[in-house]
Structure 1
Amino acid sequence: MPVTNPWLAGPAPTARLDRDRLEERILHLLSSQNMCVLATAGPDGPLATPVRYFHLDFTVLFTAAADSPKMRNIAADPRVSVGIFAPLVGQASSRGAQLFGRARVRYPGDADFDHHWPAVRWQSDHVERSRSLDEPPTGPLVAVEAERIVYTEHWLRRDGYAPRQFWRRVPR
């Protein structure tokens, strides 16, 4: 029987990408998708919420209603996990990342707000909802700076690399 991707057979390679190549692949994934699943923990247990996101380097950004369950959970415990993945067609196309970090809630005037806000493309939402482009949202901006990332891409096996790669933020 013909095999479409024979390099997927057998044990997975264990070689690691160098940091620059891994970062390039992670940033490509972050740039090519716009939905993630945000995992938080609260008094009722875990909560996994689909969220539209933006990114600035290895920081994932999203807006949210201040009184939403995810925001209540973040206020109680800012440790979060963010899952981002590309559409799956088959094993060869499997590509995604799990980001782990602390969610920081920012409002206009807060530290880092002006640095992160330009990456949020709120204008399309306003147009879709017939809202004025002269009045940007005033709600919270949540920034999750990745402390570590588990990146998975089965296509890497083709070149002899492990399909699961690990990234950690370099201490400043």
Structure 2
Amino acid sequence: MPVTNPWLAGPAPEQRLDRDRLEERILNLLSSQNMCVLATSGPDGPLATPVRYFHLDFTLMFTADPRSPKMRNLAADSRVSVGVFAPLVGQASSRGAQVFGRARVLFEGDGDFEHCWPAVRWQSDHVERSRPLAEPPSGPLVVVEAERIVYTEHWLRREGFAPRQFWTRSER
């Protein structure tokens, strides 16, 4: 029987990408997607929430209602895991990242807010909700600076690299 992707057969290679190539692939994934699953933990247990994100380098950001369950959980425990993934067509297209870090909630006037806010594309939401563009939202903005990323891309096997790669901020 013909095999579409014979390079997927057998044991996975173990070779690591150099840091620049790995960062390029991670940033490509973060730039080509806009939805993630945010995992938090709180008094009622774990919570996985789909959210639309924006990013600056390896920092993910999203807006949230201050009264939402995810915001209550973040107030109790700032540690998060964020899953970003590309649409899966088959094993060869498997591509995603698990981002680990701590969430910070920023409001207008906070130092980092002014740096991060321009990356949030809120205008389309305002148009969709018939809100005036002259009145931008003011937050809160949740910011997750990646401490560690587990990147998975099975296409890397084709080039002799391990499909699972590891990035840590401390190496930057």
Distance 1:18 1:171, change over 3 A: closer
SS of aligned partner of 2:111: coil
| Residue equivalent to 1:128 | 128
Task: State the superposition RMSD in angstroms.
Answer: 0.9
Whichever residue aligns with residue 40 of structure 2, its letter is T
After TM superposition, list the pairs within 5 Å mapping 1:86-101 onto structure 2. 86-101=86-101
Deviation by residue 1:50-91 (Cα, 9 ceiling, x = unmatched)? 000000000000000001000000011000000000000000
Q: Matched residues, percent identical?
A: 84
> Structure 1 stretches (4+) deviating beyond 6 angstroms?
none
| Residue equivalent to 1:37 | 37
1:98 shift after superposition: 0.2
| Residue equivalent to 2:54 | 54
Q: TM-score, normalised by structure 1?
A: 0.98
1:171 shift after superposition: 6.4
Q: TM-score, normalised by structure 2?
A: 0.98
**For structure 2, which runs of at least 5 residues remain unmatched after alignment?**
none
Q: Distance in 2 between matches of 1:79 and 1:111?
A: 21
1:165 shift after superposition: 0.1
| Residue equivalent to 2:5 | 5
| Residue equivalent to 1:114 | 114
Q: Distance in 2 between matches of 1:47 and 1:30?
A: 22
After TM superposition, list the pairs within 5 Å mapping 1:158-169 onto structure 2. 158-169=158-169
Distance 1:39 1:95, change over 3 A: same
Whichever residue aligns with residue 108 of structure 2, its letter is P
**For structure 1, which runs of at least 5 residues remain unmatched after alignment?**
none
1:170 shift after superposition: 2.4
Q: Count how many residue pairs are aligned between Structure 1 and Structure 2.
A: 172
| Residue equivalent to 1:81 | 81
Q: Distance in 2 between matches of 1:96 and 1:122?
A: 25
Deviation by residue 1:110-132 (Cα, 9 ceiling, x = unmatched)? 12000000000000000011100
Q: Distance in 1 between matches of 2:152 and 2:164?
A: 4
